[in-house]
Amino acid sequence: MTDLVTGDDGLARPAWASVDPMLRDYYDTEWGMPVRDERGVFERLSLEAFQSGLSWRTILAKRPAFRAAFADFAPDTVAAFGEDDVARLMADAGIVRNRAKILATITNANATIALRADGGLAEFVWSFRPESTPQPTTFAEVPTTSEESVALSKALRKRGFAFVGPTTMFALMEALGIVDTHLVDSHRRGTSGVWS
């Protein structure tokens, strides 16, 4: 029994990315590819926080609405959001209307701006890249946290970030390409250029 499904195109993908066209496209083109710019890392950090407790498919389907609602995740704009913006976001059915997560996104935008004095969010997050990456052959072998994700979580909290638990930070590291948890026989394994 394998955890990969070979598609009509002959490419092996995990079952979660083999049926739904949106998830398949995300898996094939985006997940695990390096993101090293501030806005891109801030967006993914924000969306991972919103995903907590929900399916990634839900967040991905709402991503265009999230981008519209949060000014394309421009940290300077989001940092300036006030109570009127929070009320607007709480009324926006296109996004996940969770007050704590909305407030955390605004908090994290301010923390992102503060981090610029020390090299910036992207450089900070990437500094937690481990010396090696997992080599899972089954989903059971894919970790949900790591020593580095725990350390990143603590470091971001110390810098004023919220909703950055170790599991959420490991998911962020996977999404950004900091670790490669594509199954060894997946067509995407090693394609990020970060890990050979």
Catalytic sites, residue numbers: 26, 48, 56
Q: How far apart are CA 144 and CA 161, in angstroms?
A: 20
What residue has token string 């996004």?
95
The helix, strand and coil proportions of the chain, stated in percent and rounded to the nearest 5, come to 55, 5, 40
C-beta separation of 183 from 14 below 8 A: yes
Buried b (16+ CB within 10 A) or exposed e, 94-114: ebbebeebbebbbbbbbbbbe
Q: Which residues have a Cβ under 8 Å from the Cβ of 21 and sit 6 or more positions away?
A: none
Q: How far apart are CA 130 and CA 1, in angstroms?
A: 30
Residue 167, exposed/middle/buried by CB under 10 A (0-12, 13-18, 19+)? middle
C-beta separation of 150 from 22 below 8 A: no
